[in-house]
Structure 1
């Protein structure tokens, strides 16, 4: 914790002062006033701000992504079975009322997937931006890119394959609880790396399967395209599960890091009014 008076030295006394500051007296000239800190170490009207509520919303929406993907897999397999019946046995059911109903269900499932994905993306980016701003307070030296890239990095073609991950690595490093002897702490990035690798692979697979399904001209190609779409949906479920793990892990890290800033009785640190 920084000294509550000069805000530069490390606090070593019960009153939150460093070795260079006297026991009594006003803050040194030109030094900022101590920032008010509320319960849990979160800022009062300023950064850092708790990402817990947003993380819960993201987790719930990612759960909805999984549900819509499962629905799409079910309707896709049913439609594929009808087309496969035509290919292997000459069953014309796919061209009748059953086929029309199956196509409609698969289309509705796809619409649901798109709607839930957009909602999830919006809330996820808001959560991601908040964790980036928090990391700026926790450890600004670990941040490789500005906080604006936590939003804009997702929308720049080609750069969106790398920029969000680069932002996330800085947030991850800045959110690790430092050891008792100080210095820059380290923690395994496995949850981050695994989620990002699967997310990128899932994005490419979605794009590829969409082209395959859209360009199908024969029943055989339709069967193949629907099979790939089902596989892509299953892969997206894996990506969503890993995203939940990443979101929950990083949020927990920030909660633990913020707790180090929480006011203690008799510390002299400002608290929430």
Structure 2
């Protein structure tokens, strides 16, 4: 059905006229309702300090679990080496079972703590990414959702999170009151990322070797790789602690300075650190 006068537009009045033909007295369409808040960019800061402390504690626990795994791995290697040396003529089966059980227990501990770290770290990572959007969105090459999704993409998960972290790092660098930026060396971030990637690659390589090992000497060689993997994981955890602490402190300093890009027109002003609208 079209307007009874112009026959071009749909009618909006009871007598069949469109908005233009009805004149000033015609009804005005109601404005569109505002978009839900979760579609709008974050316009406030939220402190990542609590999450950062949780991540650091879990990483410290992981370091302890890795140290236990190194000790258990060396013990397993010692028992196996003694058996290989005399062609298992005087093999202590009880000691071997104990060594295997100890290493299995440390592996379960590592898996449990690693899962907890993954969950809490990604939540912290998303928090600092959203804060970086407030500090300076021009420095963010990927949308905030990628702070979570990028970790789950095969192969690309070894590259994209570092790209996101770089944008967060740059946006979180302390600025002067005149708006000039201070460059903060990214050495800690690069060391953390390099150690983490090495840990992941070595872990996958060792896992394949472990499940493919059939001969006693192959199993013995694999235990050396397992110990090396745990050692690299300790290094990665140490650098991760330094990275989390440094970036969290940078965001606190940046928030205290209170120098942000202008707010987007039509959106509420940004609230102080730790408060939300």
Q: TM-score range by the shorter chain?
A: 0.7 to 0.9
Asked if structure 1 preserves the Cα contact closer than 8 Å seen for 2:44 and 2:271, the reply is no
Query: 1:96-125: per-residue Cα shift (whole Å, max 9, x none)?
Result: 111111111111110100000000010000
Aligned pairs (5 A) from 1:14-29: none
* Alignment RMSD: 2.1
Does the 8 Å CA contact 2:43/2:134 hold for their aligned counterparts?
no
Q: 1:148 aligns with which of 145, 153, 160?
A: 145
Alignment correspondent of 2:126: 129
**Which one of 166, 171, 180 corresponds to residue 169 of structure 1?**
166
Q: In structure 2, which of residues 32, 45, 48 is the aligned counterpart of residue 48 of structure 1?
A: 45
Q: Which entry has the higher C-alpha Rg, 1 or 2?
A: 2
CA shift for structure 1 position 243 = 0.2
For 1:212-251, what aligned pairs fall within 5 Å after superposition?
A: 212-251=209-248
- Once the two structures are TM-superposed, the CA of residue 95 in structure 1 deviates from its matched residue by 5.6
Aligned-residue offset at 1:93: 6.1
Aligned-residue offset at 1:213: 1.4
Q: Aligned partners of 1:207, 1:94: CA distance in 2, in Å?
A: 30
Question: Match for residue 15 of structure 1?
Answer: none
Inter-partner Cα distance in structure 1 for 2:271 and 2:154? 45
Q: 2-side partners of 1:163 and 1:147: how far apart?
A: 12
Aligned to 1:60: 57
Unaligned runs of 5+ in 1: 1-44, 263-268
What corresponds to 1:201 in structure 2?
198
Q: What is the total number of aligned residue pairs between the two structures?
A: 223
Residue 111 of structure 1 aligns with which residue? 108
Which residue of the other structure, out of 99, 104, 109, is the alignment partner of 1:102? 99
Unpaired segments ≥5 residues, structure 2 = 1-41, 260-269
- Pair 1:181–1:46, CA change in 2 (3 A): closer
Deviations 1:230-254 (A, max 9, x none): 0010000000000000000000000
Find the aligned partners of 1:252 and 1:202 in 2 and give their Cα distance. Answer: 26
Cα deviation, residue 46, structure 1: 6.3
Deviates more, 1:65-74 or 1:185-194: 185-194
Q: Secondary structure at the match of 1:234?
A: helix
Helix, strand or coil for the counterpart of 1:154? helix
Q: Distance in 2 between matches of 1:180 and 1:92?
A: 76
In structure 2, distance between residues paired with 1:170 and 1:270: 22
Structure 1 distance, partners of 2:242, 2:140, is 22
3-state SS of paired residue (1:153): helix
Q: Tell me the TM-score normalized by structure 2.
A: 0.76
- The answer to which of 125-134 and 181-190 deviates more is 181-190
The alignment's TM-score, normalised by the length of structure 1, stands at 0.77
